[in-house]
Amino acid sequence: MSSEAAQLAVRTLQKARNAARSALVWGYEQRLGRDVQAHGRLPRHLGLILDGNRRFARASGLQREVGHSFGADKAHEVLQWCLELGIPAATIWVLSTDNTSRDPNELAHILSLLEREARNLATDPRIHANRVRVRAIGQHEGFPPQVLAALQDLEAKTADYDGMRLNIAVGYGGREEIVDAVKIHLHRQARAGLSLDEVARTLQPSDISAHLYAADVPDPDFIIRTSGEIRLSGFMLWQSVYSEYYFCDVYWPGFRRMDFLRALREFQGRERRFGR
C-alpha cells in the first residue's frame, strides 16, 4: 500500500471513529434528557457561575478576549436549554465586583460584549415568545453610558413579562448586595422616624431579604459552577444558605448540554434537608 493510500485509510478510520463517538454521545445525551424530564423535579431557581473563559482561551491558544466571546455565545445556548426544560428562574453571574479591577482593555471588551448581548436579547424572539423577564443585578456605577442604556432598554422591554425570570449578575458581589440591602433598610426606617436602637432591636432576616437585588425571586435551589473551582466566591451569599451546589470541571465555553443534564440529574437525586 502506498503512503498516500495509507494516510487516506487512517483519515477514513478516524472519521468513522469520530462519527461513532458522536453517535454515542448523542444517544447518551438523549437518554439523560429523558431521565431528567421523567423525574420532573427541576430547580425553581438555577444559579450559574460562568467561570473559565480566560483559561479556555489559554488552553486553546487563543487571546483571552476570544474566551469571553465564546462564553457569551454559550450563555445563549444555556438559556435555550433552560427554556426547553421550563426552569422558572435563572441567575447567571457574568462579572463580579472583583473583576471590575481587571486589565482595562479586557474589562472594556467584557462590557462591550455585555452591551451587545443586552441588545441582542432585547430583540431575541425567544425572549418575547416565552415572556422572559430580564433584569441586570449588581452595582453598575461607572459602567459606560451605552452599556447602561442597553441594559435599561432590555429591562424596560421585558418588565411586564410573566414567564421565566432571567437575572444577569454584572458588577455583582454577594457582600456588596447584603450591604446595599442593609443600607436600604436603615434609610427607610430612619425616614419612618425610628432610632438606631429601635431598628437594631427589631431587625429580622426578612428585613434584609426584602431588599436584595432580586427579592421577588425564590432563593436558588441549585448552583452550578464551571471550571473546576470549588467555591462560591461570593455568589448570592445570603440566598444560597440552603442551595445545592454542583462543581463541573469543564470551562464555561466548553460546557455541554450533556454536562448541564448531568448536573440536573445530580440535583434530582439529592434529598434537600434545609438545615433539618
Binding site for Mg(2+): what residues are annotated? 51, 244
Q: Considering 18, 35, 51, 124, which one is annotated as catalytic? A: 51
Q: At what angle do helices 257-268 and 64-85 cross, to 10 degrees?
A: 50
- Cα–Cα separations (whole angstroms), residue 125 to 122, 147, 162, 204: 9, 21, 16, 42
Q: Considering 73, 99, 130, 167, which one is annotated as catalytic? A: 99
Residues placed in the known binding site for substrate? 52-56, 64, 68, 96-98, 102, 225, 231-233
In the block, cell 447567571 appears at 92
99 is catalytic: yes
Residues placed in the known binding site? 51-56, 64, 68, 96-98, 102, 225, 231-233, 244
Residues catalogued as catalytic? 51, 99
